[in-house]
Amino acid sequence: MSKEPFYPIKQLRIGFFTDSYLPYYSGVVHSILSFKKNLEKLNHKIFIFCPSYHNSKPEAGVFRFISFPAPTHRHFNLAFPFSFNIMATVRGLNLDLIHVHSPFLMGCLGAAVAKKNNLPLIFTYHTFYHHYLHYIPITPAIAFSFLRYWERRFCNNCQLIIAPSASVKNHLLKQNILAPIKVLPTGIELKEFQIPKVVNYYQNKYNLPQNSKVLLTVSRLSKEKNIYFILKVFSKLPASIIKQCYLFIIGEGPEKEKLQNYSKQMLYNSHIYFTGTVSRKELVDHYINADIFIFSSPSETQGLVICEAKAAGLPVVALRASGVTEAIDNGKDGFLIEPLDENSFMQKILLLLSDYKLRERFSHEAKKKSVSFSAQQRAIQLQNYYLELLQSSSFNIAAYH
């Protein structure tokens, strides 16, 4: 097993610029929080530059910018990335590098700050942005062309790009991105999932019948996540099975009301629970005590919730898609189904529900593989990428010798 390269360590002072942050929650926010927490355990200082929200509170090391709800996505705030004091603030913080988590509003501000202060610029490509063009009220072809131009221009002005998966790296390479690209997925806090199951957790919490089975999905409730596919598959389950089976959908998003209305038309709609957002502890409890995790997104940069489900020991049934294929070992800890194939998806769910030994074998394999997801190890990798960049670049590296 190869060892991480050694670099002389001093405390790094890092500016994270992001278009989303608490109290808004998403996969991007989760990634930022995970790396922040574990980099701070390594004695580094992280400063967050992000949008303000109506219920956000002052927090040390967090600098918020005036923001407004996006016209086509009211749950998402758009920051006004301007401040007369930003350059003085950055100089006062004595930052070593800038790490941006978006190529747009706050990401552009971070890039400008990095250029003005001669600091290295790192960018994590969290999202396949072309899957979100339906939120932009202009012709899709024009939006797509501009997005490709903008991504290429932004990425090639960075000194390092972090890709959450090999799929993302390949996507960037096809666009002639010349900046160095490192693959580094977001890690999992494995200790969170090292807790025992609670007997009849769902049955007691939601007053379900004894011996009922739970299918779980965790997702933002938006068009691009394809939740309608899951509802259609659930409705196809044989009556003898669906009477004992319950579907739990955890998450919020712009499609929530439409999805709820759609599910009300289904015969067994009382077996479908939209929980909304739950606390982190409740989320882990839902993972640990479910029977099967199902996922229908047609494209992911990483599939973080799949990694969390596997850390909880859940077998997974998911659509074969970029990012997802790297998180599932097909036929060993889960099943990958071709897109749009509702019947095959349903058949794999039925197989896992009916075969306890198979479910246990998949669960064991999922937990075993999840050891490689450690958030602490991923933070050490990111730290080393930072130090490698600082040592190999033309930036001031005297302090690192």
**Residue 132 pLDDT class (50, 70, 90 cuts):** low
CA–CA gap between residue 191 and residue 223 (Å, rounded): 33
- Percent above pLDDT 90 for the chain: 76
CATH of the structural domain 190-372, one choice from 3.40.50.2000, 3.40.50.1010, 3.90.1150.10, 3.40.50.720 = 3.40.50.2000
Mean pLDDT value across the chain: 91
**Residue 134 pLDDT class (50, 70, 90 cuts):** low
Q: Which range has the worst mean pLDDT, 65-74, 111-120, 245-254, 360-369? A: 65-74
The pLDDT tens digits for 139-191 are: 777 777 878 888 999 999 999 999 999 989 999 999 989 999 999 999 999 99
The pLDDT tens digits for 177-226 are: 999 999 999 999 999 999 999 999 999 999 999 999 999 999 989 888 99
**Highest mean pLDDT, choosing among 131-145, 232-246, 289-303:** 232-246
- Exposed, middle or buried by CB within 10 Å (0-12, 13-18, 19+), for 400? middle
**What confidence score (pLDDT) does residue 2 get?**
46
190-372 shares the fold of 13-187+374-400: yes
Residue 124 has pLDDT above 60, yes or no: yes
**What confidence score (pLDDT) does residue 398 get?**
41
**Domain at 13-187+374-400: CATH code:** 3.40.50.2000
Residue 5 has pLDDT above 80, yes or no: no
Q: Which range has the worst mean pLDDT, 1-10, 128-137, 265-274? A: 1-10
Domain ranges of the chain: 13-187+374-400, 190-372
CA atoms within 13 A on the CB side of 207: 1
**What confidence score (pLDDT) does residue 225 get?**
92
**What confidence score (pLDDT) does residue 102 get?**
94
- How distant, in Å, are the alpha carbons of 75, 107, 125, 295, 299 from that of 324? 26, 26, 16, 9, 7
Average the pLDDT over 229-252 and give the result.
Answer: 96
